Amino acid sequence: MKLTLPFADKLPTIPRRALPAIGAPVMVLAALAMIVLPIPAILLDLFFTFNIALAMVVLLVSVYTRRPLDFAAFPTVLLIATLLRLALNVASTRVVLLYGHEGGSAAGNVIEAFGNVVIGGNYAVGLVVFMILMIINFMVVTKGAGRISEVSARFTLDALPGKQMAIDADLNAGLIDQDQARLRRFEVTKEADFYGSMDGASKFVKGDAIAGILILFLNIVGGLSIGMMQYGLGFSEALQIYTLLTIGDGLVAQIPSLLLSIAAAIMVTRQNTDEDMGQQVVFQLFDNPKALTITAGILFVMGIVPGMPHFAFLLLAALAGGGAYWMHRKQKVKEETKNLPAEAGGNSNDPAAPPKELSWDDVHPVDVIGLEVGYRLIPLVDKDQGGELLERVKGVRKKLSQDFGFLIPAVHIRDNLELTPNSYRITLMGVAVGEAEIRPDQELAINPGQVYGLIDGEQTIDPAFGLEAVWIQEAQREHAQALGYTVVDSSTVLATHLSQLLTNNAAQLLGHEEVQNLLEMLGRSAPKLVEDFVPEQLPLGTVVKVLQNLLHEAIPIRDVRTIVQTLAEYSGKSQEPDVLTAAVRIALKRLIVQEINGIEPELPVITLIPELEQILHQTMQASGGESAGIEPGLAERLQASLTQATQEQELKGEAAVLLTSGFYVRHWLSL
């Protein structure tokens, strides 16, 4: 099936077939020239060798072609090869008759080699061998292939109207669209043309075999006449010289002819299915081990009969028996594997089995973390193509699991043809949380805020942090780094984006299963602490909510021992998740400060002037703790001042930390 890409019109057109297209005309003209012009012996050797090589190539292509229509040019190739061989017969006949009296090498080394080496220099043996080859080619291979070609062409043409009607019916029923219908009509027409051409091409092979027999006798009669009458050779001497040369010439021509006849027979006897012929023949021939078992038994009996060649029969009996045992074991394993889904309540692959009723197994849960990629990004995921994305994703999961304190769920990666080729989409609980487009064959130069020049490339935005960036070629990497850009490859861009989204949504990744695993892990080191914690002191849902609150505030839950101790201590005072979260936050104060300031002894903070803090405190008390009671102008000035102070802290390279009274901190954050 040929697919047309939506961007195919933008690709450059390369005349790849311009040079090979002149091969066939040149070969036809060369064959016609060989019929008219005299050919030196050295060129005859080259042409005969080329003819044999061409026949081998055609035969191997016929064997390895998956469908007959994949080699639709075979009838034309067969005609050209036949014409070339007949032209070589004419050229070699001219050389044999003109210079045969000079010796066996007068017609070239190839003909001499076939006359001496193949048949041992005995023209009687050569004549018998040549006639056997002609009988095999003409009576067996060519005749059978011609009959099959005739029947296949007739049946294909008779079935053409029915196939056309079936295509129209599928189109009217909506099973296929216009493009699919057009493609199927083209394949049906192409199939009819192919088998019709093969029916005619088989006549070429048959005519070539008949021509070989006639040329043989004409060359022998002509050689005897010329040798005896023009060059005064004796009958036996002329018969020896010209018969050997003629038979050598005939063998050189008939071996490629036999190869092409076998190729034609293979093409017309193949089924029009997309299967490799070698695998199809082997699998169907040895699919049943019973045949090999019986064959092995018969060969063994024949091998132990006195007077029989024991080694040959017993060796083949052992090979057949071993093959039967191997096939039996393979089928047994396949049958056991096939029956596993049926025992588990699944559906087998048997097409005759009735469709089972729908069950909950047919409802697939959404992926906790999903990554969908366009088809051009598939090499990033495929390890066989050098893709590093899987290792990068595994590294992201490992780092985040260590930072947050719980195991990040696996990332399910799949292709999505609905996305543009270079796009990817990140989903959480089946909902898209991030989407971007990257260039798998380029690198991203990110502007960290201060660079010393511009670089050529495609302007874009870093999907992870929203920074200005440029897609550049790999050769520009060092130049971009010298200008102050941070250069990363496309796999790193995607992995960084994934890491940032998971960090921002860590609270969604923690559920009851993960919290239960954390408690079980803590129970192995502190069993008494966890023994009566859930559900006697707190329900599991409350613990999950507290841990989610901490993750939502970017507080890691690595110190699960301190968290559980604090929850157990405050569980008798309150069951509210917000109150418990505040208590845990205080207990984790050292961890929180270390996450912000590292191991530095002092922490720079931003504070409110006492008058402003008193006003906010009184306002919230008057409004019952609601931030809506703050005067709008005051709230706006407060927000502007906090923004300016935050920017000043960031310019100094320090974290922006606001230190306030715990009474109203959670209320004014909404401003």
**Token pair listed for 467:** 């920074």
Mean pLDDT value of segment 341-365: 56
Mean pLDDT of 457-482: 92
pLDDT in tens, 406-443: 999 999 998 888 899 899 999 999 899 999 999 998 99
Please compute the mean of the pLDDT values over residues 387-400 and round it to a whole number: 89
Once rounded to an integer, what is the mean pLDDT over residues 65-78? 77
Q: How far apart are alpha carbons 38 and 41 in whole angstroms?
A: 10
Contact between residue 652 and residue 599 where contact means Cβ atoms under 8 Å apart: no
pLDDT given for residue 348 in this prediction = 44
pLDDT, tens digit, for every residue of 521-565?
999 999 989 988 988 899 999 999 999 999 999 899 999 999 999
611 and 657 both lie in a single domain: yes
Helix (H, G, I), strand (E, B) or coil at 2: coil
pLDDT of residue 626: 54
The verdict on 461 and 535 lying in the same domain is no
> Does one domain contain both 537 and 479?
no
104 lies in the same domain as 208: yes
In a domain, 352, yes or no: no
Is the residue at 645 inside a domain? yes
17-41 confidence digits (pLDDT tens): 444 556 567 767 777 777 667 777 7
- Looking at 555, 585, 601, which one is the last position of a domain? 601
CA distances from 433 to 317, 352, 499 (A): 66, 44, 12
End-of-domain residue from the set 506, 526, 543: 506
Give 501's DSSP letter: H
Report pLDDT for 493: 93
Answer whether 490's CB lies under 8 Å from 443's CB: yes
**What integer pLDDT is reported at residue 230 of this predicted model?**
74
Are 354 and 468 spatial neighbours (Cβ–Cβ below 8 Å)? no
Residues contacting residue 218 through CB under 8 Å, at least 6 positions apart: 93
Instruction: Report the number of distinct structural domains present in the chain.
Output: 5
Classify residue 348: in a domain, yes or no.
no
Query: pLDDT for 86-114, tens place per residue?
Result: 788 788 777 777 776 666 566 667 777 77
Same domain, yes or no: 295 and 245:
no
- Stronger pLDDT, 377 or 161, i.e. the higher one: 377
pTM value is 0.48
Average pLDDT over residues 606-623: 79
Residue 346 confidence (pLDDT) above 60 = no
Q: Where residue 513 falls among pLDDT bands split at 50, 70, 90? A: very high
Residue 380, pLDDT above cutoff 60? yes
Could you tell me if residue 279 is inside a domain? no
**Residues 564 and 429 occupy one common structural domain:** no
Are 382 and 294 within one domain? no
Q: Is the Cβ–Cβ distance between 201 and 81 less than 8 Å?
A: no
139, 33: one domain: yes
- Per-residue confidence (pLDDT) for residue 263, from 0 to 100: 80
Distance between CA atoms of residues 261 and 248, nearest Å: 20
Average pLDDT over residues 461-490: 92
Which domain, by its residues, includes 572?
A: 510-601
Q: 95 and 77 in one domain?
A: yes
566 compared with 327, residue with greater pLDDT? 566
The answer as to whether 596 is a domain residue is yes
The answer to the question of residue 154 being in a domain is: no
In this structure, what are the phi and psi dihedrals at residue 422, rounded to the nearest 5 degrees? -100, 10
Residues of the chain with pLDDT > 90: what percent? 23
For range 271-279, the mean pLDDT: 59
| In a domain? residue 66 | yes
CB of 88 closer than 8 Å to CB of 111: no
| Lowest model confidence (mean pLDDT) among 75-79, 156-160, 493-497, 577-581 | 156-160
| Residues 464, 585 within the same domain | no
Between CA 154 and CA 196 the distance in angstroms is 8
CATH code where residue 535 lies: 1.10.8.540
Q: How far is it, in rounded angstroms, from Cα 228 to Cα 220?
A: 12
Looking at residue 90, what is its pLDDT?
80
Does residue 268 belong to any structural domain of this protein?
yes
- Residue that is last in its domain, among 274, 296, 311: 274
Burial class (CB in 10 A: 0-12, 13-18, 19+), 51: buried
Go through 129-159 and write b for each residue having 16 or more CB atoms within 10 A of its CB, e for each that does not: bbeebbebbbeebbbebbebbbebbeebeee
Q: Domain containing 399 — which CATH number?
A: 3.40.30.60
The answer to whether residue 611 scores a pLDDT higher than 70 is yes
> With pLDDT > 70 as the criterion, what percentage of the chain qualifies?
82
Whether residues 446 and 484 fall in one domain: yes
Mean pLDDT of 658-664: 69
Average pLDDT, the chain: 78
Which of the pair, 326 or 176, is modelled with greater confidence?
A: 326
Q: Are residues 516 and 492 in the same domain?
A: no
